[in-house]
Amino acid sequence: MTSRTNEPKERKDPPVRRRAATVPAPVAIEIFIAGSVHVPSSKKARAATGTFIEEGDMRNKGKCIPVVGEQSLYMAELFAALEAVKMTNRDTVFTITSTQSYVLDAMNKKLPSWENDGWVDVKHRNVLRCLAAELKAQRARTIFKVAAPGSPERAQCKKASMLAKRSARIQTEERWDLTIPPDTALPGLPLQGNRQRVFYRSIREIKSQVLSPRPSTLMMLETVRRDAETTFGRHITEADIWQAVATKDILPRTAQFLWKGLHNAHRIGIYWTHILECEDRAICQECGVLEDLNHILLGCKSPGQEIIWQAAESLWRGKEDKWPAVSFGTILGCGLAEFCDENGKAKRGTQRLYQILISESAYLIWKLCNDRVISRD
């Protein structure tokens, strides 16, 4: 038998190597956001958002925030960030740039504690929860950045601000969808590792939702807001009024007096009209009119209040030239006072003087009225 060693061996075909599919790089865009608050004369403030990508982009727009709710720059920035997230694809890497750090601090620093506490006592949580859920639904990375002064990003944010200002002046009604995407947020409060204080506040919050606001309190808040905006020339919110009462420059007893005044809770005036045989206490014996807090502090002819306000004005003019007009709203909202120099820098000493002078003068008039009524009875 002969061997065939010289014959070529049959070789198998090499396996076909498939070229790895190239994954396209994720598209990255930068969205510039801004908010604006417009306060027309004799009307309520209106806030709007502005989102800007680049010149000629159809997604550049301004949009008013919902009428129901706080009209502030903080709220406008939150809604602007929400609009920026919703206008982008979930697979798009994008950067949200603003001149303020509101959104950055909320989503990077405060969000874990808010979620752990079940969003209890968190202001504007309907917007914040929706924004956090939309960010979690994104499959690509989202970056928050604060534009440095003088940078090109700052100029782009200014264009977004112009869109917001234009929308705030027009004041059109806009629809906002605050529905939370599914599978992005767990409702309720975690039991493990939480504190009794959080549970207590959560129960209180649920119970307070069934309580309707007091009409007299709402009326007082509106009076303070209107007078303070006219006198101090700035936008005032309900939260600003309550925080101003608790300022450290006002003594606790005086702050309690102002707090009761905001609730119309002093036992004067109309309070006595519902009590039999005490109706005459509702009328000022000196002036013959209803003895409410406004009349006691500013309108009563009894000795005391006019002299005290003259002395307060004399003391004020020893430091400043212009004496701000004293009204019922500015008395209850004296903690809202803001004074600035020609460069726009806050004059902290002048603010403290005004707050102490107005609050203590009003409280002194109140005590003199009490002494006069008690001695008469």
- pLDDT tens profile 185-243: 777 778 877 888 888 888 888 888 777 888 999 999 999 999 998 888 877 888 889 99
| Amino acid 32: pLDDT | 94
| Amino acid 49: pLDDT | 92
| Amino acid 172: pLDDT | 76
| Amino acid 117: pLDDT | 85
Q: How confident is the model at residue 8 (pLDDT cuts 50, 70, 90)?
A: low
Question: Average of pLDDT values for 130-153?
Answer: 89
- Give percent of the chain with pLDDT exceeding 70: 91
Neighbouring C-alpha atoms within 13 Å toward the C-beta of 276: 0
Class of domain 28-170: alpha beta
Whether the pTM exceeds 0.75: the reply is no
Question: Average of pLDDT values for 32-50?
Answer: 82
Question: Average of pLDDT values for 164-190?
Answer: 81
At residue 20, does pLDDT exceed 60?
A: no
Q: Where are the beta strands (DSSP E) in the chain?
A: 28-38, 46-52, 61-64, 93-98, 142-146
Question: Average of pLDDT values for 76-101?
Answer: 90
| Amino acid 15: pLDDT | 64
Question: Average of pLDDT values for 64-87?
Answer: 87
Q: How confident is the model at residue 376 (pLDDT cuts 50, 70, 90)?
A: low
Give the strand order in the sheet containing 46-52: 61-64, 46-52, 28-38, 93-98, 142-146
Within the chain, all domains assigned CATH 3.30.420.10 are found at 28-170
**92 vs 97: CA distance, rounded Å:** 16
At residue 41, does pLDDT exceed 70?
A: no
| Amino acid 10: pLDDT | 64
Question: Is 1 buried (19+), middle (13-18) or exposed (0-12) by CB count in 10 A?
Answer: exposed
Question: Average of pLDDT values for 320-335?
Answer: 92
Query: What's the mean pLDDT when you consider all of the chain?
Result: 85
Give CA torsion, residues 253, 239, 225, 164, to 10 deg: 160
Q: How confident is the model at residue 26 (pLDDT cuts 50, 70, 90)?
A: low
| Amino acid 139: pLDDT | 86
**50 vs 168: CA distance, rounded Å:** 10
